[in-house]
């Protein structure tokens, strides 16, 4: 536990200090940190140790989430948009793959940002005049795994929806497409490279995506030729233009569905509050996932909408897409941050726990039992898991509410009176585990039908009939009628049916006790039944009109 505390504490320290961020990329460098500054930061470390040990002892993901900072994302996106060359001083404002001076300048920025973390092995991958930037976090020394997890984003831009687009002279700032994806990737690479994983984590900024997915095609082809064991590719392409909802679409094919599941489960587990749409469509070829699909690797793309030029549910068409007006001021940073957090914790979890050679099954216990809440049968139980799971309860296929702080779950389940075979299933990206238990549901009293007729009632002298039927004989029953403002207008005892004691009826002529007719309007009718010394109630509305 202790080294984990220290790494998280150190990360927070890094994120809180402007000085030395570039110089101290790994834990061992902290010892070289100057002593007075060290003391200034000591309180921060102690505070974080306290927070970390008292609130989130089990899950690194929880501790990582707040370290994705809007100001860092914004700084990257602004730098990529302006794409300023220091000497000779020049502002390109484009990263068109055809404009090599501009592209090479952006590639140098990305490489420098990767190099903030000395544990990342950074190299340029050149092909046909283009340039990917690849940063590898190698597996821990003792690991024999050859698995590779990839997080990627293209960095080239184009403004081909502008009428006079010229790749060599026109601006293509690409703040959203795809400054957002590159910024998220850079921050995630920086955070995750502080840890050791059993598998390689590979972060790639692709060139020449906009002119035919050329960067990713090159990388995927080489990987396939070398027989690389790429397990999952998370591609982020354009995640910041949406001011009406926190929506992210995950594009998958059949074999990549499990990566989509991992993202969906993590969104709920970490309570990120993203609205997620998983789109399984092998014909979507508009981003770099496609190059990996074509080599039979599993890949998904996270995107604000797979059709950004068109309105869809929760999304308004992005008028700045592929134009010179795609700038940082149009970006919803809350959304970018959430998507970055989602990719961060999902990748950390998959590479860190779920694909561990020794423990690829969750440490999980489920003990379903029955409780009644609001007259409805609920199944509750406990769970333990070292990574995100979802719990589904049957009958009813109900997704349970998880309370991670108490390790408990609850689900309202449609049980029948008598014996029920209840199954709780922990679902995780690589599989599922179930426990079953026979649970006897003694339903007690239940309403079978409650009727107010006719409704609306049209005439002042017409009788309204109230009829209720239960599953058990009714000892006593009454109805209380309230006006819309809550005043009791009338109480009626009614009669139990002589031949069937489960049925009760009452009648009302729309008059109060003194024989005065009630005003037209909406009335609330409260049925109350006494069964086995317990009171059960139901309400219905009655409209009286002329």
Q: Which stretch binds Zn ion (CB under 5 A): 170-178, 307-315, 350-358, 464-472?
A: 170-178
At residue 427, φ and ψ (nearest 5 deg) are -105, 130
Please give the size of the binding site for Zn ion, defined by CB under 5 A. 3
Q: Cα dihedral sign for 176, 179, 183, 189? A: positive
Backbone angles phi and psi of 236, in degrees to 5 = -115, 120
CB of 416 to Zn ion, least distance (A): 52
Residue 178 or 291 having the CB closest to Zn ion: 178
Residue pair 190/106 in contact (Cβ under 8 Å)? The answer is: no
| Binding of Zn ion by 326 (CB under 5 A) | no
- Residues 198, 355: contact at Cβ < 8 Å? yes
200 is a site residue for Zn ion (CB under 5 A)? no
User: Shortest Cβ distance from residue 88 to Zn ion (Å)?
Assistant: 30
Strands of the sheet containing 401-403, edge to edge, are: 369-373, 376-382, 408-412, 401-403
If the CB atoms of residues 160 and 196 are measured against Zn ion, the closer one turns out to be: 160
- What's the closest the beta carbon of residue 238 comes to Zn ion, in angstroms? 5
Residue 113 or residue 318: which is nearer to Zn ion going by CB? 318
Which C-beta is closer to Zn ion: that of 11 or that of 172?
172
Nearer to Zn ion, 238 or 531 (CB): 238
Q: How far is the CB of 96 from Zn ion (least distance, A)?
A: 13
Element holding 132 (H helix, E strand) = strand 130-137
Q: Which of these ranges, 56-64, 138-146, 169-177, 319-327, lies near Zn ion under the rule CB under 5 A?
A: 169-177
| Nearer of residues 158 and 380 to Zn ion, judged by Cβ | 158
Burial call 316-334: b when 16+ CB within 10 Å, e when fewer: eebebbbbbebbbeebbbe
Give the shortest CB-287-to-Zn ion separation in angstroms.
6
Is residue 381 within 8 Å of 422, Cβ to Cβ? no
Binding status of residue 176 toward Zn ion by CB under 5 A: no
Nearer to Zn ion, 252 or 425 (CB): 252
CB of 383 to Zn ion, least distance (A): 39
Using the contact rule CB under 5 A, the part of the chain among 6-14, 18-26, 174-182, 521-529 near Zn ion is 174-182
For β-strands 147-154 and 200-206, DSSP reports them as: parallel
Window 417 to 476, contacts with Zn ion (CB under 5 A) = none
CB of 229 to Zn ion, least distance (A): 27
Binding residue for Zn ion, selected from 59, 62, 156, 177, defined by CB under 5 A = 177
178 binds Zn ion (CB under 5 A): yes
439 vs 375, 378, 410, 474, 523, CA distance in Å?
Answer: 17, 11, 15, 27, 40
Question: 200 or 210: whose CB is closer to Zn ion?
Answer: 210
Residue 216 vs 464, nearer CB to Zn ion: 216
Q: How far is the CB of 154 from Zn ion (least distance, A)?
A: 6
Binding mask 506-535 for Zn ion (x = CB under 5 A): ------------------------------
Rounded distance between C-alpha atoms, residue 199 and residue 140, angstroms: 7
Of 177 and 207, the one with the shorter C-beta distance to Zn ion is 177
Q: Is the peptide bond before 178 cis (omega within 30 degrees of 0)?
A: yes
Region of 178-186, 190-198, 367-375, 463-471 interacting with Zn ion (CB under 5 A): 178-186
The CA distances from residue 345 to 403, 413, 467, in Å, are: 18, 31, 56
CA distance 64 to 194: 11
Q: Six-digit token pair at 389?
A: 């799971």
The region of 38-46, 177-185, 418-426, 534-542 touching Zn ion under the rule CB under 5 A is 177-185
Encoded tokens for 223: 């990987």
Task: Give min distance, CB of 248 to Zn ion, in A.
Answer: 14
Dist. CA 83–CA 105, nearest whole Å: 7
Distance of closest approach, residue 58 Cβ to Zn ion, in angstroms: 37
Taking the C-alpha atoms of residue 540 and residue 468, their distance in angstroms, rounded to an integer, is 11
Minimum distance from residue 21 beta carbon to Zn ion (Å):
28
Closer to Zn ion by CB, 178 or 252: give it: 178
Residue length, the chain? 546
Q: Which residues contact 3 (CB under 8 A, 6 or more apart)?
A: none
Q: Tell whether residue 237 is a contact of Zn ion (CB under 5 A).
A: yes
Question: Which residues are at the interface with Zn ion (CB under 5 A)?
Answer: 177-178, 237
């Amino acid at each position: 536990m202790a080294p984990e505390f220290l790494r998280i504490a150190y990360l927070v320290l890094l994120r809180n200090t402007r000085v030395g961020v570039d110089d101290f990329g790994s834990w061992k460098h902290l010892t070289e940190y100057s002593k007075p500054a060290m003391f200034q930061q000591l309180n921060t470390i102690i505070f974080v140790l306290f927070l970390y040990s008292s609130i989130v002892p089990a899950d690194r993901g929880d501790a990582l989430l707040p370290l994705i900072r809007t100001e860092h994302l914004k700084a990257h996106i602004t730098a990529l948009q302006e794409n300023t060359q220091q000497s000779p001083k020049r502002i390109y404002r484009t990263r068109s793959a055809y404009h090599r001076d501009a592209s090479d300048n952006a590639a140098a920025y990305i490489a420098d940002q990767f190099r903030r973390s000395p544990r990342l092995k950074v190299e340029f991958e050149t092909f046909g005049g283009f340039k990917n930037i690849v940063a590898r976090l190698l597996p821990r020394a003792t690991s024999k795994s050859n698995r590779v997890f990839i997080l990627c984003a293209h960095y080239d831009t184009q403004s081909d929806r502008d009428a006079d687009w010229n790749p060599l002279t026109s601006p293509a700032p690409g703040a959203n497409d795809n400054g957002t994806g590159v910024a998220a990737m850079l921050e995630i690479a920086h955070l995750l490279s502080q840890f050791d994983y059993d598998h390689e984590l590979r972060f790639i900024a692709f060139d020449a995506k906009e002119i035919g997915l050329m960067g990713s095609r090159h990388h995927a082809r080489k990987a396939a030729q070398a027989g690389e064991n790429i397990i999952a590719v998370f591609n982020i392409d354009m995640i910041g233009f949406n001011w009406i909802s926190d929506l992210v679409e995950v594009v998958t094919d059949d074999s990549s569905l499990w990566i989509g599941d991992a993202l969906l489960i993590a969104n709920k587990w970490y309570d990120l509050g993203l609205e997620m749409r998983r789109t399984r469509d092998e014909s979507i070829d508009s981003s770099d996932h496609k190059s990996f699909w074509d080599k039979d690797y599993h890949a998904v793309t996270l995107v604000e909408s797979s059709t950004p030029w068109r309105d869809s549910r929760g999304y308004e068409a992005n008028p700045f897409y592929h134009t010179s007006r795609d700038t940082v001021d149009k970006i919803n940073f809350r959304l970018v941050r959430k998507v970055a957090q989602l990719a961060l914790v999902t990748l950390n979890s998959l590479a860190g726990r779920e694909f561990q050679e020794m423990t690829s099954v969750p440490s999980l216990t489920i003990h379903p039992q029955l409780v009644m809440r609001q007259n409805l049968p609920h199944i509750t139980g406990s769970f333990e898991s070292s990574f995100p799971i979802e719990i589904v309860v049957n009958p009813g296929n109900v997704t349970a509410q998880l309370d991670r702080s108490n390790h408990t779950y609850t689900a309202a389940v449609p049980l029948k009176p008598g014996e029920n075979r209840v199954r709780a299933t922990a679902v995780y990206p690589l599989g599922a585990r179930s426990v079953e238990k026979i649970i006897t549901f003694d339903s007690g009293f239940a309403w079978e039908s409650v009727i107010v007729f006719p409704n609306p009632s049209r005439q002042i002298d017409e009788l309204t009939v109230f009829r209720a039927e239960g599953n058990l004989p009714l000892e006593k029953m009454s109805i209380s009628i309230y006006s819309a403002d809550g005043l009791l207008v009338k109480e009626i005892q009614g009669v139990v049916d002589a031949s069937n004691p489960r049925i009760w009826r009452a009648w009302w002529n729309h008059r109060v006790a003194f024989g005065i007719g009630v005003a037209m309007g909406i009335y609330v009718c409260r049925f109350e039944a006494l069964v086995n010394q317990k009171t059960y109630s139901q309400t219905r509305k009655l409209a009286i009109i002329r």
